[in-house]
């Protein structure tokens, strides 16, 4: 069974940091680009960050310079280092696998596999 | 960034109704458009990719159409299990963007 399991969320103070992790299983993780998507309480879905199978990264403007996505293909894991956190970063963070196409070294896709999500609350 | 606008934001319907949700892109996304269903407290579920391709296991009452900047999700005969929030998403270019969602509730 293809599965993504996130961990690392919790309560963080404004300005603080937290590292999210996502463990992948049941598919060839190293061959896929991966993304993080978040959802603030009662709100819609927001794409956060992308990493290619080889480690190239793209970020939403709202998190650029504060968040860092990384992966360990040997460990089948994805990470999101979140720093300088703000109240508006409060959300459920989902690790997602895209299925689509690649062009010019960047891959694009609809998200066919989602983790269960991990909640990050930024509050004093 | 490409803006995705869904309408309506809320839709009240009855079991058996034909339901149509519209998603408009601020610029062309070709046919790189997906639809998701999300129930309260649950993870979003991919229903349709590439505008009209149903995911395995998705009932045939769901269908998608469109191209360029205007897309629709149609539920031909609404079932009790279909009351949920639906999101469109473009994956033509980064930043990937979602529509604001359409909540389908019971009339």
Torsion of CA A83, A86, A92, A94, to 10 degrees: -40
How much is the CA Rg of chain A, to the nearest whole Å? 14
When pLDDT is cut at 50, 70 and 90, the band that residue A80 belongs to is: very high
pLDDT tens-digit series, residues B27-50: 999 999 999 999 999 999 999 999
Residue-wise pLDDT tens digits, B63-86: 999 999 999 999 999 999 999 999
What is the nearest CA distance from A3 to chain B, expressed in angstroms?
13
Is B96 in contact with A115 (Cβ distance < 8 A)?
A: no
Under an 8 A CB cutoff, do B44 and A112 touch? Answer: no
Q: How far B76 CA lies from chain A's nearest CA (Å)?
A: 23
> Which residues 6+ apart lie within 8 Å of A4 measured at CB?
A22, A23, A24, A95, A96, A97, A113, A114, A115
Q: Give me the pLDDT at residue A87, please.
A: 98
Quote the CA–CA distance of B86 and A44 in Å, as a whole number: 10
What are the beta bridge partners of residue A7?
Answer: A21
pLDDT of residue B68: 97
> Do residues A56 and A106 touch, judged by C-beta distance below 8 A?
yes
Minimum CA–CA partner of A93 in chain B: B43
pLDDT recorded at residue A12 = 98
Size of interface A-B (CB pairs under 8 A): 62
- For the stretch B6-27, pLDDT in tens is 999 999 999 999 999 999 999 9
- Please report the pLDDT score of residue B45 as a whole number: 98
Q: Which residue of B has its CA nearest to A104?
A: B93
- Mean pLDDT for all residues in chain B: 97
State the DSSP code for B80.
Answer: G
């Amino acid at each position: 069974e293809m599965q993504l399991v996130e961990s690392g969320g919790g309560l963080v103070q404004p300005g603080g940091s937290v590292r999210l992790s996502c463990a992948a299983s049941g598919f060839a993780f190293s061959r896929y680009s991966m993304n993080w998507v978040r959802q603030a309480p009662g709100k819609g879905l927001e794409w956060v960050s992308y990493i290619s199978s080889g480690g190239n990264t793209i970020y939403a403007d709202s998190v650029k310079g504060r968040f860092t996505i990384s992966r360990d293909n040997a460990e089948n894991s994805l990470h999101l280092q979140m720093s300088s956190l703000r109240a508006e970063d409060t959300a459920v963070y989902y690790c997602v696998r895209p299925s689509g196409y690649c062009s010019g070294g960047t891959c694009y896709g609809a998200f066919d596999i989602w983790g269960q999500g991990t909640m990050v609350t930024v509050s004093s | 960034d490409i803006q995705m606008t869904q309408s309506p934001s809320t839709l009240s319907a009855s079991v058996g109704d034909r339901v149509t949700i519209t998603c408009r892109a601020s610029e062309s996304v070709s046919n790189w458009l997906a639809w998701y269903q999300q129930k309260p407290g649950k993870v979003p579920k991919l229903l349709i990719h590439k505008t009209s391709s149903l995911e395995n296991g998705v009932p045939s009452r769901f269908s998608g159409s469109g191209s360029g900047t205007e897309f629709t999700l149609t539920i031909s005969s609404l079932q009790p299990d279909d009351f949920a929030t639906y999101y469109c998403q473009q994956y033509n270019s980064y930043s990937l963007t979602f529509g604001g969602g359409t909540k389908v509730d019971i009339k």
